[in-house]
Structure 1
């Protein structure tokens, strides 16, 4: 049953599987959603296929790596958001990233640089007195450097640290900042990877933690992943080096 609110959420990178589930769940909570992505036709099809209330969804073109367009994109928003969610992400295999910088650069630009560019604009608009929360989707890969994924992990580690500082910067304005530190999800980005099935989370499960984010800075969905997160945080470097 849909709730009623006059609030708006801006989802950046809205074409990801998790972001699409966020669209559904935010609408169920009564939010209006601005869904921003490069692939607007896919979003239009998603809204139609799921019979979502089109009056509650505005679909806009947004390119995370076109930094020069970000201010214009923000200025042209039909309404300024109460909540902003950065869900854009890009991943290439670590071995490929080590020998082909193009993939590494793309990960840096989408996972970190694009996030900083647009979120700085959103956060520093003090005229938007309605802004109450910024949520960034990070990763367990960014908790400790491991040889299997440290290039991708480094972009997520940087993003998490940015969000931590942004939380402090915005505290005086009572704007909350959350970092979703996420493990394996059954999404397009992980297709073809050999993953432990018992650890894979469904997109709607992760979306529920985003839509219902509380006061804690770090949010780690799933008890198993919480344990892995805590272990990674305290594990001696010598043991981390033995991990895949």
Structure 2
């Protein structure tokens, strides 16, 4: 019998390309999946096309409707063993600087909404199932760069939150991971000029979610690991010269 047969994964923001691949891979490993998104129609099509109907429960979840989060969690069909926060929103830096609505939406989806629902989940000590929380962050949040610092700031805040949450939950033997991701071939990046040699596929990134270990920071792909390490130690004068 598969050791994961009786375990449940809750994926928040499950309509993203990476999250959809994670749904498939978790099911292949024997997990039951609760896929939550505001766009349930798109999820339903994906689930139907991949013959996953009997293995996935689709739920409506709006990351920026903060007042609904407690009710959403309380009414879950099952309390999760693993939680993945994959919701994300991106507008380019020029638009974000010129129009605060774009900035605000990134803040709400990428950070505030995450903190709202994950606080509720993490502080439910009655859920003895919970063993792992995974948040999808970004290399953009490692250092502030002039090309994407508004979006990057929301991811930096999320990573910092996850780091503290990891310390908070350690005494309950709950692992928290931050997946620090580079460029992915997904709809959120369509229209952006990206280095094709660095672009990862959603199913490749999803493997790092499903197979997350004990390390806090998980950086998929060795090229991005090198970039991550360089960004961490690069002097500010050189960071300023980056695009």
Q: TM-score, normalised by structure 2?
A: 0.98
Q: Residues of 2 paired with 1:174 and 1:202: CA distance?
A: 32
Superposition map of 1:66-105 within 5 A? 66-105=65-104
The answer to whether the Cα contact below 8 Å between 1:141 and 1:150 also exists between their aligned partners in 2 is yes
Distance across 2 between alignment mates of 1:151 and 1:63: 22
User: For residues 9-158 of structure 1, what are the structure 2 equivalents within 5 Å?
Assistant: 9-52=9-52, 54-158=53-157
Q: Distance in 1 between matches of 2:163 and 2:62?
A: 24
CA positional deviation for 1:138: 0.1
Distance apart, 1:56 and its partner CA? 1.4
1:145-197: CA deviation from partner (whole Å, max 9, x where unpaired): 00000000000000000000000000000000000000000000000111110
Q: Secondary structure at the match of 2:130?
A: coil
**Distance in structure 1 (CA, Å) of the matches to 2:71 and 2:84:** 18
Name segments (4+ residues, structure 1) moved above 4 Å: none
Contiguous gaps of at least 5 residues in structure 1: none
Measure the CA separation in 1 of the matches of 2:193 and 2:97: 20
Q: How does 1:188-227 map to 2 (within 5 A)?
A: 188-227=187-226
Tell me which residue corresponds to 2:159. 160
* Match of residue 8 from structure 2: 8
Provide the aligned length of Structure 1 versus Structure 2.
242
CA RMSD of aligned residues (A): 0.9
Cα pair 1:3 1:28 within 8 Å, conserved: no
Query: Following the alignment from structure 2 to structure 1, what is the Cα–Cα distance between the partners of residues 121 and 201?
Result: 29
What SS does the corresponding residue of 1:173 show, helix, strand or coil? coil
What secondary structure does 1:201 align onto? coil
The CA deviation at 1:99 is 1.0
Alpha-carbon shift at residue 55 of structure 1 (Å)? 2.1
2: CA distance between counterparts of 1:193 and 1:70?
32
CA distance in 1, matches of 2:97, 2:39: 28
Structure-2 separation of matches of 1:20 and 1:227 = 27
8 Å CA contact retained: 1:16, 1:88: yes
- Runs of at least 5 residues in structure 2 that lack an aligned partner in the other structure: none
